[in-house]
Structures are given as structure tokens and as C-alpha cells.
Structure 1
Amino acid sequence: MGMRADWLSALAAFESAARHQNFAHAAEELHLTASAVSHQVRKLEARLGVTLFRRHARGVILTPAGRQLADTAGTALADLESVLASLRPGRDQRQRVRVTTLHSLAYTWLLPRLPQFARLHPDVRLDIETDVALTRFDDGGPDLGIRHGPGQWHGLAAVRLMDERLFPVASPQFPGLAAIATPAAIAASPLIADHARQGWHDWFRLADVHGARVEPRFTFTDSTDAMRAAAAGLGVALARGRIVQPYLDAGQLVKLPGPEMPGRWGYHIVYPAHRRLREPAQRFVDWLLSLDTQ
């Protein structure tokens, strides 16, 4: 059965009536008369050869066939509206900024600071995308990103945002916490790690602990999960200072004896080197750089 152009108006009328369970309310939403909505629905029922609504005095009730079509039509029309909105060069889209970053940084560092940005720039709309993979900044992609790394990526301009430091942490309720008085004692504890390229081997070397068998008991892809595991008392985690601070402030984790290790890499604001940032994206970058990151 081919889809003719005039089916769209009938499906829109049906979908609205299905949501409201009432032709009059659907008519108000679509700026039509109730009889026009009813006519569109009956036309659709005739073409399909099925009954979509059971009529009663106070409104309508979907039949099983109607429920099946309503679920699909609602999703399809919502998707279509979303695409049309993204193509429309309206004010909302011009003021929308897409930012990609790591989930751990968004959750523990960026989100607590966003209320300030919202107060200063109420007209800017932010889409925050989190992924461990390196995002492509092609046409239609994010405006900018915040990445953790050496500061040099092919085709990207990079502005250093802040440095990092690493140190061991554990839950205040971690069994045997009182006995951990030296870095060597940490080596005998269950260790928690993430997939960062700088980890426990580097820290024990800096702490002058030699000969320790560094075999993490738990390893997580994301630093946030490693922090939550430590807060749950599963072991000792090597925390990144930017990620762990909310857990320290809340008393869920405490620092353990030993040195703070300077991070080999820092956090950088990145964007395509071949194009200038749009004005709202530049405002977001300026705000990031104005934050106290000491």
C-alpha cells in the first residue's frame, strides 16, 4: 500500500485525537473543527479497512488496531517534527550549542557549575553529549568538546582548560582504613582502577613503593564508576582531583596517605581548526575559561 501525500493530514488528525481521546481537544490543537477531525479519522479508517476508535458520549477510546497505529504514528510524527525543527534556521537553533565531553567530567565537574552559565546566558541552549570515543567534528556534529589528553589532536584547535592531579581515596567505612598509614599499606588493599593511561604503577613509583604487585581487583571504563565503587567500600581508587571533589565534599570518600601525582595530561577545549566558533559557542568557551580551576 503506497503512502499518498494526503495521508499525512489524516494521520496527524488521528494521532492528536488518540493522544487526547477526544476529537474536540484534537481540533483545538490542530486549529480545525471537531467535524473536520472526525472526517479525517473516518477517511483513514475507510482506507485501512479497520475501526480505530470506539465512539461514546464523552469522547473516543482506541481499539487494539488504533492503539497499534497510535504508537507508531506518534513516534513517527515526533521524529519528523524534530528533524524539521533542526533544519529550520530559527532563533532556538542559532542559540543552541552542542558540547561533547566525558561522562565523568560532565557528571562531577561541569554539571555543578552550569547553573552559573544558565544565569549569565539564559538565551543559550546547551546539548551535552557524553562518550568515551573521540567525537568527529564534521558538518552537523558538535560545536566543541572538552577532552582529556596531551593537547594536540589532528585538525583541532585546543585551548588548555585545567590541569589534573591523582591521589588515592577510599570510603570512610572501608574495612581496615585506620591501618592504612603509608603508601605501602595501600598496595596491600583491594585496588580499583579505570582505563586511564596513567594509573597505579605510576603512583606507586612516585610514592617510592617498589616490588608491589599492582593487580586491580575492580576495573571500570569510566572514572565515575570507579569513584562510586570506592564510595561503596569495594577498595582504594586512584582518583582524579577534578572528578573526585564532589565525593570528598560530601564525605563519601577521604584522601589516603601518599603524594599527589601531577597528571600527565590536562583538560582542553577543542573545536575544528578550520572554522570559527559561532557566537553562542564562543560565549560558552569564554565562560569555561573564566572559571576558577586552581
Structure 2
Amino acid sequence: MRRRLPPLEQIEAFIEAAQAPSFRVAAERCALSPAAFSRRIQSFSSYVGLRLFERRPGGLRLTPAGERCLAELKPALLELRRAAASVARRNDEALSVTLSLSHSLAVGWLIPRMDAFRAAHPEIELSLKTQRGASDLRCGEADLGVCFSDIDLTGLVSRPLLSVTVAPVASPEVARSFKARGGRLERHRLLSVSQPPDMWPWWARETGLAAELPSASTCDLLHAMYEMASEGFGVALAAAPTVWPHLENGRLVRLDLPHAAFPGGYHLVAPADRRDRAPVEKVWRWLEFEAERTPDISRARIAA
């Protein structure tokens, strides 16, 4: 009797878990609760009959069996998605465009500009897929994307779009405390993100700060770090352009400390066959226009 394949959502959950910095982030990407996500991983592990993850310092990691499983399944899933997208692809005159970009860039930069996009191009239906890599572009599920420079863009059409600068920010209350306590970071709780790691030591080296900084509390998501800082839990090392909504509404203010340019930046990316579509061209040009209007964090008001 032929053995039935596991449900596709279990395979997708396993691949997300293998690539995400934590199961919590992978569950968010799959729009599942942590409990539901864990059940999918357990069901898939039972189907395979092997231990796919093991606990190590820093969290769960793939076992050798899990690594082999990922190497076999990921290309197959991408090919299946590509085939499905090819079957369902609309003709070249379709006025729908799917844009792939990270969660932090979607929330902190693009979504606040969506009203402007609808005003400029009411004829285009723009859908978003929040994913950090380029797999949605390669498998045909996205028409264009905005990817950070550490993403492999081989075979895709790309151009630089947004540079990234970082600077310490805090809630107005914490900013006042920072100034009253002599402007010393080592006297405050520091907040950072898990990826990329060691951002505070990097910033200190880049800006020539001689003080020895305490270890930072980390968040998986950039937006979660901004929310923690806005609620007064510490000083965050913010990245422009994604921090601007919090600066503009006053929930965060920039401290009287130097900023630094982060290596690399965001690139505008598209598969060559999608780049030529008229609706994609319009979205591409609009994104370029908005990027040119995005201010550098050096222009943010420093807390009095």
C-alpha cells in the first residue's frame, strides 16, 4: 500500500522552523499560535520517524537528520510553488502586483505610505508578503521585492533602494532620565535585535564610544524592540528607515549620541520576466520615488 504524503502545511512549517531564528518567529510567519505550530512540527517529525531538532545553547537547532530533510524538501517545495504560480499566473495586463519584503520594513516604512500609493495608482491592487529572503521571488509567488544586501540576489534584476543608519533612541521619559544621569548608556538597560547580532558593540566601535556597554536584551523582531523602548523598558539601537513612525509620533526620541551607517542596505528586486510588466514597472518607480523622500536618521530631532 502506498504511503500517503504528509500535509503540505506540515512541510512548510518544518522549513520555516529550520530557517527562522526561533519557533516563535516561524509560527508568526505561518500565522499560527505557538501551540498550533508545535503540533505541526511534532506531526511531521512523527511522519519522518526521526528527531529533526535538538536543543543547544541559544535555542533549538537542526539535527543532522533535520539538515538532510531540509536539503531535500526546500528545493521541492520551491519548485511546487513555482509550478502552481505558473498555472495560476494572470496575463500580462493584470493590474495586481505582489510585493515581498521583511516584516520590519513593511510595518515601519511601506504601510505608512500605502495611502499615498493608492492615491497615485488606484488601478493597481498591491498585495504584501512579509518574508525576509528572496524565495517568493524565485518561486513566482511575488512580482518584486525589497531585500537586504545580505540576501542572495543571483539571477534577479536589482538596484540599491534604501541605505540604513542606526542611532540610540528611547521614550521621552527615558531620554530625560538619560540626560539627568549624565548621558551614560551603561546606566540604562539596552535593547537590540537578535539578527544581526552584537549591534551595540558594533555601534560603539563605529562611533568611537570608549565606555564598556552592558549586555543588551534582544528581541526577534525589530518592531517588538521599538514597542519595548516606547513603553520605557530601555534604550534601543534603532535603524532608519523603519523607526520613523515611532519618531514622528513622538513615542521615541533620538538621544544626543552619534549615528552610524550600517553596511549594505535594501535593494529593489524582481525576476526579469516580471520586471517588464507595466504594473510592476509602476510600483517599482513609485518605490524609488518614496525611497528618495525618506530622510536619514541624522535629521531626527534630538531629545532636549
TM-score by length of 2: 0.61
Tell me if the contact between 1:151 and 1:268 (Cα under 8 Å) persists in the aligned partners.
no
Distance across 2 between alignment mates of 1:201 and 1:105: 24
Structure 1 190/134 Cα, relative in aligned 2: closer, same or farther at 3 Å? farther
Aligned positions of 1:29-68 closer than 5 A: none
Q: Which runs of 5+ in 1 are unaligned?
A: 1-82
Tell me the CA shift for residue 167 of structure 1. Answer: 0.1
Q: Where does residue 285 of structure 2 map in the other structure?
A: 286
Q: Where does residue 123 of structure 1 map in the other structure?
A: 123
Q: Where does residue 243 of structure 2 map in the other structure?
A: 244
**What's the secondary structure of 1:147's corresponding residue?**
strand
1:111 aligns to 2:122 (yes or no) = no
* Larger-gyration structure (1/2): 1
1:220 aligns to 2:219 (yes or no) = yes
Query: Which contiguous aligned blocks of 4+ residues in structure 1 show a shift greater than 3 angstroms?
Result: 86-91, 273-277
Tell me the CA shift for residue 150 of structure 1. Answer: 4.9
Q: Where does residue 168 of structure 1 map in the other structure?
A: 168
1:102 aligns to 2:108 (yes or no) = no
Tell me if the contact between 2:144 and 2:275 (Cα under 8 Å) persists in the aligned partners.
no
Q: Where does residue 10 of structure 1 map in the other structure?
A: none
Amino acid at match of 1:270: V
Worse-superposed segment, 206-215 or 249-258: 206-215
Structure 1 293/155 Cα, relative in aligned 2: closer, same or farther at 3 Å? same
Tell me the CA shift for residue 115 of structure 1. Answer: 1.2
**What's the secondary structure of 1:155's corresponding residue?**
coil
Structure 1 107/235 Cα, relative in aligned 2: closer, same or farther at 3 Å? same
Tell me the CA shift for residue 246 of structure 1. Answer: 1.2
Q: Which runs of 5+ in 2 are unaligned?
A: 1-83, 296-304
Distance across 2 between alignment mates of 1:88 and 1:147: 23
Distance across 2 between alignment mates of 1:96 and 1:275: 12
Deviations 1:167-221 (A, max 9, x none): 0001112283333544xx11331110113437111111133233614411x2112
Tell me the CA shift for residue 161 of structure 1. Answer: 1.0
Amino acid at match of 1:230: A
Tell me if the contact between 2:168 and 2:255 (Cα under 8 Å) persists in the aligned partners.
yes
Tell me the CA shift for residue 253 of structure 1. Answer: 0.8
Deviations 1:254-274 (A, max 9, x none): 111211101212111111246
TM-score by length of 1: 0.63
Distance across 1 between alignment mates of 2:226 and 2:211: 26
Tell me if the contact between 2:157 and 2:270 (Cα under 8 Å) persists in the aligned partners.
yes
Q: Where does residue 138 of structure 1 map in the other structure?
A: 138
Q: Where does residue 257 of structure 1 map in the other structure?
A: 256
Distance across 1 between alignment mates of 2:250 and 2:261: 23
Tell me the CA shift for residue 141 of structure 1. Answer: 1.4
Tell me if the contact between 1:180 and 1:257 (Cα under 8 Å) persists in the aligned partners.
no
**What's the secondary structure of 1:269's corresponding residue?**
strand
